[in-house]
Structure 1
């Protein structure tokens, strides 16, 4: 991937991340984030309370029916019925009791309030419910008897300076004074669910007339004497050594233990009946030990009493059990800790560029889809891991940023793919076969523009004596002849998967193994050369008729490392090769003259063909620009086969020459000379050295390029 593309994708992804962050900051993702939180809670909420110190007594439908049948009493019950609940908790040794039931109106029955007040004074310490807010209640200021029971908190004035308006109360609906004075504390049961009406957080307190009003769970903890000193700092509520993460509305994120029934739960009817049995000396239906040392919350679960809430785990979650969850979180100190806003923003911002880079890395549609399949669930996985560790990490924002980044990558790839394909077709249509162009367009990543070092097989060809032939032709005749010849040869080269480098007059330069990988590039080059020679032989009579003489083509092929790529100016360039291996291929084409041959390949090319062709070794040559001699070969046929007698005799003559038997070699070559131009060339060369009285090691010194 180019650096420019990296920057483009990163910039597009950053824009997607910024957009997602902005939506999160404006609250547009709050509902989606809440729903993702609900899924996490459903998957990972641990069954059972963490502290084991909380129990719930519920006024369920069975309790309403039993009291109605037993005492002919309907709801609301007389206070003396609740007195039985308090008495049973006292008998059981409960740590504290909290009523999630409002006693805001005096009882119509004589002595009824006094009976419950007497029970409250006898213990255990009890917190009663009040509604402290901005709209409900006749009290504009808290009466002295309730203020005296509310705790002091260090840092309250500093914290309240940055508190949200929702935490500031203006009115209160309090228990009747007789009961309130008998209770240890009054706790607030007003709550503010999330915008979608799902209770994911619990308020720890509200502020009324400059005083901290604890929530009912916090009031229960205070009544039990385990809260410790209260302190407030930005984002934190300290309860002795316990620390609770709160927002500017004094809300903490609930760590749900499960749906309804997650805590020790007793029906109010069973508790009342058990207390009556104990007073009569009968064995109770409920063992008081179940509540020993526990915090007990008393509230409703009967649908008709309208205290069913929506929680992440249930569509009808009794409010008292949600209060129990908050109390259990306070006792165990394991409220969920929301990640700070800067971390939410960072994770959302980072996901955009990450997704865009991953989606645009390959540039192909399936790679973008694969990146999407891998990256889109990543925020959810991180969110689940955070939940397991007790932290709320963002999911909706990073997921949206990831989708935006992937979409940006897809659009970028789509927009650049067409331009890239047009470039490939325009740049390569003149020197690549249509099949190779189609492969490049299907996978442009296989093309690396610019200089690249690769192992190639390079093909150089030239027509023998074409300069003199061209001098006798009219321009139109010459052009037509060249076009016919070059077209026929080029078709074969392209058919073998070759890349046409250029034409230089009648010369053809081509190569294999670029821009696409071709492991058999040497064999392709040799096969193309043999096919070109066969095609020229077929066309030779027609060309003889047109120019008056036969046309012969010399070909040189070498394999080795070169630099290949688009080279030239920004507007005009050639896809060409540079390097010593290419120069040697050119030298081999010219070296054919010395041997009277028409196809010569280097030892490296011959070795790479792995015996795929019939041929022979021509000998050793030393060309301009190379100090060491090069062993060269002549492919003769498409398929390897038995060596004929002429080729066997040529090999024997060459072996005699290398063994120092110059006269014997000369004699052997001379015997082959009439029918074999390379043997005739060797015979003449041997005679020249014999006539001069010199030895010859068989290395041809070629001074021409």
Structure 2
């Protein structure tokens, strides 16, 4: 590092003495020196040379003295480290200078060994300040980038460590959500670009805020689809509980959003949500040039397929048994044993329900009908028929009734 120093003094011989004393450091590129005769000339020099690292200034000078210059320097955004020079008997002014923010002081006549030691100390101080500012700028840039993916608290925690610890690729147990919108492709083809832009920005923004409120991580946004992670990058022992709570909140917000836009004449489809929990390979897969914090593995694929299963089941939220079992006080009803593409074994799935609906008589009636179907009891068909007769707005009950009417048995089902 070449330290640039501005000397401010009206003594005519000082410049030659300083240049002679520090000729070796100047030759070796350690120091670069600038000179001014008073405070006003110093301010002009600083305006032309904003890279100046420190100022060494006398107190008694014409036009603008050293104390006035020091006050001006303290008003600037990047305060220069300043060494004040004055006569030994002028301790009152030296004390004033230190109170006004001077970094150090020297007495006249100047002891050049003392000056050199003071400059070296000040250079170390300047280097430390530069490093602090560099880290702060890196942290601010990191925070701006990370805030797109993580809740504010997690983003601050990660940005504080600009070396990237915490986002390296690793295997983690996670809960993941996938969301998608029914009929979105048709909407893209028919809606005016301005309307579509406003709609999608509001939707993604609102959904993301809910994810962040539950301290989830937005791993991907692809058009209308959002992938969310819990228990990554930080530890969240209650990640399954968070995933279920977040799914409910997203569902409620999306339903309200859809109703608001329908009132404006835009037919916005329902949001479907799938959730699964298990091991996944998680971390930054963007290499050195890009930041792409995401997850890969069977857990992620399964969550995506559970989201797609909602289309066949008539549900809006479908979660795996690993999520249902891991969530505290889970309220929901069994969907069945799904044979999902890419899996050789059936996966028990559940539909999470709000507490009020879970405690409603219809849920108990569904549970009885499902138990009969699971046991292979022929009474399952009339049980579901009765349920659909009383609650025609229950698509999952209608789905099972249709299966039974078509000759299906049990709870295992193949979904395309």
Distance, in Å, in 1 between the alignment partners of 2:199 and 2:268 is 13
Distance, in Å, in 1 between the alignment partners of 2:314 and 2:368 is 19
Distance, in Å, in 1 between the alignment partners of 2:218 and 2:130 is 32
The Cα of 1:426 is off from its aligned counterpart by 4.0
What's 2:173 paired with? 455
Relative to 1, partners in 2 of residues 1:420 and 1:641: Cα closer, same or farther, differing over 3 Å? same
Relative to 1, partners in 2 of residues 1:616 and 1:696: Cα closer, same or farther, differing over 3 Å? same
What's 2:207 paired with? 489
CA offsets 1:30-82 (integer angstroms, 9 cap, x no match): xxxxxxxxxxxxxxxxxxxxxxxxxxxxxxxxxxxxxxxxxxxxxxxxxxxxx
Which of 382, 386, 394 in structure 2 is aligned with 1:671?
386
What's 2:57 paired with? none
What's 1:702 paired with? 415
Q: Map 1:627-642; keep pairs closer than 5 Å.
A: 627-637=344-354, 639=355
Distance, in Å, in 1 between the alignment partners of 2:352 and 2:359 is 12
Distance, in Å, in 2 between the alignment partners of 1:507 and 1:533 is 14
Contact 1:502 1:508 in 2 (8 A): yes
Q: CA RMSD in A?
A: 2.5
Distance, in Å, in 2 between the alignment partners of 1:428 and 1:623 is 34
1:657 aligns with 2:370: no
Distance, in Å, in 2 between the alignment partners of 1:544 and 1:642 is 28
Distance, in Å, in 1 between the alignment partners of 2:415 and 2:131 is 54
What's 2:221 paired with? 503
Which of 531, 540, 543 in structure 1 is aligned with 2:249?
531
CA offsets 1:347-398 (integer angstroms, 9 cap, x no match): xxxxxxxxxxxxxxxxxxxxxxxxxxxxxxxxxxxxxxxxxxxxxxxxxxxx
Relative to 1, partners in 2 of residues 1:641 and 1:624: Cα closer, same or farther, differing over 3 Å? closer
Q: Give unpaired runs (5+ residues) of structure 2.
A: 1-124
Which of 282, 300, 319 in structure 2 is aligned with 1:582?
300
Deviating 4+ runs (over 4 angstroms)? 410-417, 442-446, 639-642
1:480 aligns with 2:198: yes
Q: Which structure is richer in relative contact order (CA contacts within 8 A, separation 6 or more)?
A: 1
Contact 2:272 2:310 in 1 (8 A): yes
Distance, in Å, in 1 between the alignment partners of 2:155 and 2:260 is 33
Which of 624, 628, 636 in structure 1 is aligned with 2:341?
624
CA offsets 1:447-481 (integer angstroms, 9 cap, x no match): 42331111111110011111122222111211111
Contact 2:184 2:268 in 1 (8 A): no
1:432 aligns with 2:130: no
CA offsets 1:597-653 (integer angstroms, 9 cap, x no match): 000111001111122x4211111101000010001111111x599732211111111
Larger Rg: 1
- Please identify, of 414-423 and 674-683, the stretch whose mean Cα deviation from structure 2 is larger: 414-423
Distance, in Å, in 2 between the alignment partners of 1:416 and 1:699 is 59
SS in 1 for 2:256: helix
Distance, in Å, in 2 between the alignment partners of 1:467 and 1:443 is 41
Contact 1:462 1:553 in 2 (8 A): yes
SS in 1 for 2:379: helix
The Cα of 1:420 is off from its aligned counterpart by 5.3
SS in 1 for 2:274: strand
Relative to 1, partners in 2 of residues 1:451 and 1:640: Cα closer, same or farther, differing over 3 Å? farther
Which of 536, 542, 567 in structure 1 is aligned with 2:285?
567
CA offsets 1:326-357 (integer angstroms, 9 cap, x no match): xxxxxxxxxxxxxxxxxxxxxxxxxxxxxxxx
SS in 2 for 1:454: strand
Counting matched residue pairs gives: 287
Q: Give unpaired runs (5+ residues) of structure 1.
A: 1-406, 690-694
What's 1:97 paired with? none
Relative to 1, partners in 2 of residues 1:413 and 1:605: Cα closer, same or farther, differing over 3 Å? farther
Distance, in Å, in 2 between the alignment partners of 1:514 and 1:568 is 17
SS in 1 for 2:173: strand
Distance, in Å, in 2 between the alignment partners of 1:413 and 1:621 is 56
1:685 aligns with 2:403: yes
The Cα of 1:569 is off from its aligned counterpart by 3.6
What's 2:187 paired with? 469
Q: Map 1:224-235; keep pairs closer than 5 Å.
A: none
TM-score, normalized by length of structure 2?
Answer: 0.64
1:614 aligns with 2:331: yes
What's 2:111 paired with? none
